Amino acid sequence: MIQVVTYDGKDTKYDGEEMAQYSLHDIRSLDEYEIDVIDLSSPYIWYSSGKTANSVNISNDLKSVIGMIDNSRNAYVVIILPQNEVFYYNKYDKRYLNNTELKDILYSLQNNILSKLFDSFAGISLTYENTRSNVGSMEYEAAFYFEGNAFWDTEFVIRSIKSKKPTVMRNNRIYITTLKIVNADSLMNLLDGIGTLEKEEAAPKWISEIKMFDDIEQETKISEWQNEVEKIENHIECSQNKLADNVRLKSILYTSGDRLVEVVFKILEELMGCDLSGFVDNKKEDFLFEIDDNVFIGEIKGVRHNVKNENISQLDVHFQGYLDEHEEKDPNSVKALLIMNHQNNKAPKDREPVKDTQINLAKRNGSLIIETTVLLKLLEEYRSGKKTREMIINMIKNSSGLLKME
């Protein structure tokens, strides 16, 4: 786990599962983590209420951090220095009267503000020069580099492209860098590049050919379990497909328009053995099909209100229009059906029943109202074997008014 310490602990560029971010004030014990990153690049750090640019407002927090670094025994510590930020100082009445760039106060920055951080790096100083450095596959910018001779345990780890200016140096477990870190990925890449991230050595391919202990037994078990998993996954997929089909069928309880018509067509085809694939909507009836000598003609409606007289009257217009065009047909062999998903903005249990006025009008016309709730129950009983297709056709053909389940 990595602890990232920033000015306020809220730097969004370090959002990541492998990182715990805290403010300079609330920093946790360094040895609780494998790697501790102290990021001093925030522009909000570089403010001083004093009249000179020899300290910062968070000096006490920096002293605490430096003390924790001195006392750490196990963790890697990576210190990210700022870029060429503007340093504001000499505060008066909520305003800072003076400012300067960090490049212009490098001596004070290193020997006053950050002096203790450089204790382990004797003879090294900061120099202003914009450079670029490669770490792995990423390129980093830096406003400063390290100048001087590395003594004792000090080592320059990363140097800039072409100019070979040091931008990362280390002393035992402590690293200091001038590289600009732009996001969590660039930080992780840097940590990997300087060798602080421990990686497991990849096993060679030939290791799998050496069979020892109970390797063969365990491999056999894995193969058997994988076969079982595959069977279970197939069963799950089959059940998921069936559930999806059930959801599609139940959609006639809340849909309207073409979506409602499409699913009702599928249900009618399954229940009554008709074929509606060739039906052409001429903006008259919503469906028309024949079974033996019987003709079924009808409307499919999805509405928010209850069944109205006008819905039944419109159905009768289609019925009479069909008879006018087919004078040879016996009116008793033509059945007008009104398939209604009424009050479709409510759950079925909350819907008002179809009123007697509309039921009696349908009876008078010899037509039949079929609620989508009833249509689904018919399909359920058909699939379970409680009702045959012949029984359902006869129910619909011989009923008028409102279809009820027997």
pLDDT for 283 equals 78
Q: Please name the residues in contact with 155: beta carbons below 8 A apart, sequence gap of 6 or more.
A: 169, 170, 171
Q: Is 279 helix (H, G, I), strand (E, B) or coil?
A: coil
250-400: CATH topology is: Restriction Endonuclease (3.40.91)
Report CA-CA distances (Å) from 226 to 229, 230, 238. 5, 6, 18
Q: Using the 8-state DSSP alphabet, how is residue 319 labeled?
A: H
Ranges of CATH 3.40.50 domains, the chain: 1-192
- pLDDT score for 213: 94
Burial of 331 (0-12, 13-18, 19+ CB in 10 A): exposed
| Residues shown for the chain | 406
**What was the pLDDT predicted at 122?**
67
What would the pLDDT profile of 158-190 be if each residue is shown by its tens digit?
Answer: 999 999 999 999 988 999 999 999 999 999 999
Give the pLDDT score at 200. 66
What is the CATH number assigned to the segment(s) 1-192? 3.40.50
Q: Where in the chain is the domain with CATH 3.40.91.30?
A: 250-400
- Tell me what pLDDT residue 158 has: 97
Residue pair 38/77 in contact by the 8 Å Cβ criterion: yes
Alpha-carbon distances of 81 from 168, 215, 294, 297, rounded to whole Å: 10, 51, 88, 81
pLDDT of residue 150: 64
Q: What tens digit of pLDDT does each residue of 15-28 get? A: 877 899 999 999 99
**Strand 2-6 with 19-23, pairing:** parallel
Nearest to 362 by CA among 316, 295, 393, 302: 316
Spell 296-328 as b/e; 16+ CB within 10 A means b.
bbbbbbbeeeebbeebbeebbebbeebbeeeee
Q: According to the model, what pLDDT value does residue 282 have?
A: 81
Which residues of the chain have a pLDDT value below 70?
Answer: 120-122, 150-152, 199-200
